[in-house]
Chain A
């Protein structure tokens, strides 16, 4: 049904003719044809009137030079033709008046409805365009507004301008072979015209074959505060594809899209800068000690590998675990910063390779004192020999052997490589009772109290106070990260980073949290941290261990309730350890790992 067909409605037309009939001479009849339909008829046989029949007068109905219908009027024989034409003119005039008023009403209403549409469109588009902080999503939302409509736009693309080199790249497009069309567009001479144009324009008569199958083109720059960000290009494969109204509508949407795009770019720039800061900090932590070099770089790599596997798992304990892009980003940042608290840990503790390390290794001092005792023994031997004592040599040899055995024990205990038994502790305490004296006759203990304390440390090289300092780094990590006003997407970073020394049985530090209190990302970082530490090529307390040795230790940690068993199983089953070691470890550390020793056979 055409729009104009609605201008005259049948009931109203019938009424109009009925009202006219009594005014006409008796025997008259009239009919109204409109939009190729007989709309109304009145009088005797009125419905049967046709043009050219005897005594039938025809009066066309015209709107804006277009004939839309006709009135046929039959007056009784003998009526003056002038009278007939007067009645006809009167009727047609009133009908045309109505048509014109209706036409105006419909046009105005149409305009109003269009502006209602525009308003609704804007309202929806603003919401959608501002929903994302990714340039590609903004472009997709913008293009959707054109691709979904029935107004025959065959192609659309958003080009983004690189702020550094001014190069344009496609960040979204639709249409048949859109990629090829984009390339053709960029290769055409028109592209330079389009990118140089401040307001955009329409070309409705593209030559055939100039740019793929396109025949009409409309482009609008995406710009904010005069800064040119990119370009929206829409095209149709027919001539005269675009009108000024299309341009206006598109401009409205583009202005919103440009702001959204600018926001997305600013957000991306902020993110890049933040990541650079994080990298600088993690590099600084790594650089603090030659022994941990690369730790903060490698832990995120392992953590992400494991997290991705957990995310991909379709069955098993991680079937429901998902990691969206924001969470993945948070995990990476947390893993990079998990040791940031170490910036407040003194290097001599971090790097402490033997028990008597402080600023220097004090074992050297003890060796000097033993040297004094050796000399004293030698002098005593000479003195006794000179005095004619028979056992001088035997006593000397005995004394020497004793000193050598004592020093060997101290040296061994100092390395921290072995467990110090209670018998050893007793011997160390006995050694400490010995004295040496200087030439002024002053006496000094062979071992100072602090040296005894350190040497008696049962495991490793750190005494309890130093261990506390080390453990404090975890709490410093949490404290430092808690002061950063992370955005929503990153708000879990302190928790993820601060939990890497917790144990799932609650015996870890700093808070003694249990499995349920630790997030999966925190548990993942704990595993990544341990695995990296065990396999790192050089540590103060030992050389880099073999892969099978590290896995064996971690398996024991799983059984002891130290690390998350399900995550460790995933770590093994999905070959995360393998992928990582192949990439980062020297061949001599990589050996065969017998997974059957650690994993239960698959249930199916």
Chain B
């Protein structure tokens, strides 16, 4: 198995904890990395080059859209699947997320089984 690192970028500690705990059930026990704001998250992504990033939209310092745009504009960062997390269900959020380069959109509170299935599917895809 290739790169199985998963980054969780969210300013809310309980979401980080819940997502981490959910993803720990993945087979192969991928390495899980945490960041608590957008700027920290971008630095983490540039340093660790995870396979998947769970990225919150509304965050201090740098929001999810900007992180997403920055990742997509960096030619060194390839093969990263971005899953956006939002508490808002608005269709326009989804559209904007997709425009900035996110692949998936998950609303909070998330369905743990859906997260697991999604992460599993992404890790299976080279």
Contacts and interface: CB of A to CB of B under 8 A. Distances in A.
Contact of A116 (B17, B24, B29, B109): B109
A117 B17 contact: no
Interface string A107-120: 00110110011011
B91 interface: no
A127 to B, nearest CB: 13
B73 to A, nearest CB: 32
Interface of A, secondary structure class, is helix
A105 interface: yes
A1 B29 contact: yes
Contacts of A117: 111-113
Contact of B21 (A1, A113, A119): A113
A121 B112 CA distance: 10
A479 interface: no
Contacts of B109: 116, 119
* Main secondary structure on B side of the interface with A: helix
A1 B21 CA distance: 13
A116 B21 contact: no
A69 B23 CA distance: 25
A301 B24 CA distance: 63
B77 interface: no
Contacts of B114: 120
Interface in B96-126: 109-114
A116 B14 CA distance: 13
A106 B18 CA distance: 9
Nearest to B18: A109
B125 to A, nearest CB: 23
Contacts of B18: 109, 112-113, 116
Nearest to B20: A109
Given A116-B111, A117-B111, 13 more contacts: A109-B18, A109-B21, A110-B21, A113-B18, A113-B22, A116-B109, A116-B112, A119-B111, A120-B110, A120-B111, A120-B112, A120-B113, A120-B114
Interface of A: 1, 6, 105-106, 109-110, 112-113, 116-117, 119-121
19 contacts: A1-B24, A1-B29, A6-B24, A105-B17, A109-B14, A109-B17, A109-B21, A110-B21, A112-B14, A113-B18, A113-B21, A116-B18, A116-B111, A117-B111, A117-B113, A119-B109, A120-B110, A120-B114, A121-B111
